[in-house]
Amino acid sequence: DAGVIQSPRHEVTEMGQEVTLRCKPISGHNSLFWYRQTMMRGLELLIYFNNNVPIDDSGMPEDRFSAKMPNASFSTLKIQPSEPRDSAVYFCASSSQGREQFFGPGTRLTVL
């Protein structure tokens, strides 16, 4: 199995631009998670989906952030407009039936 796939691996953009991060979970997994990791705040859960339905988005920092999961094999995390404080590594993870979460390699986002 290829594991969790994320794209792009690196993204550099300017303040005010829209950023879209993509994730393909492990085939057969029914839960998908988006995390953000920074030096200051560590690893934080932003939102998670069960069976493509958002269950808990209490970690989403503000309205500039949105996430979708249109089908079982694809999810996006969008930031519009982006700000320098959004610079972080964004991880996607997936799991099956509430078991161990497997993380993707992450997207390193830099907002100038």
Partner 1 sequence: RKEVEQDPGPFNVPEGATVAFNCTYSNSASQSFFWYRQDCRKEPKLLMSVYSSGNEDGRFTAQLNRASQYISLLIRDSKLSDSATYLCVVNRDGGYNKLIFGAGTRLAVHP
Where does this chain bind partner 1 (CB under 8 A)? 31, 33, 42-45, 48, 50, 55-56, 91, 95, 98-101, 103-106
Q: How far is the CB of 101 from partner 1 (least distance, A)?
A: 6
What minimum distance in Å lies between the beta carbon of 33 and partner 1? 8
HEC sequence for the chain: CCCCEEECCEEEECCCCCEEEEEECCCCCCEEEEEEEECCCEEEEEEEEECCEEEECCCCCCCCEEEEEEECCEEEEEECCCCHHHCEEEEEEEECCCCCCEECCCEEEEEC
Nearer Cβ to partner 1 (56/83) = 56
Shortest distance, position 37 Cβ to partner 1, whole Å? 9
Minimum CB distance to partner 1 smaller for 81 or for 105: 105
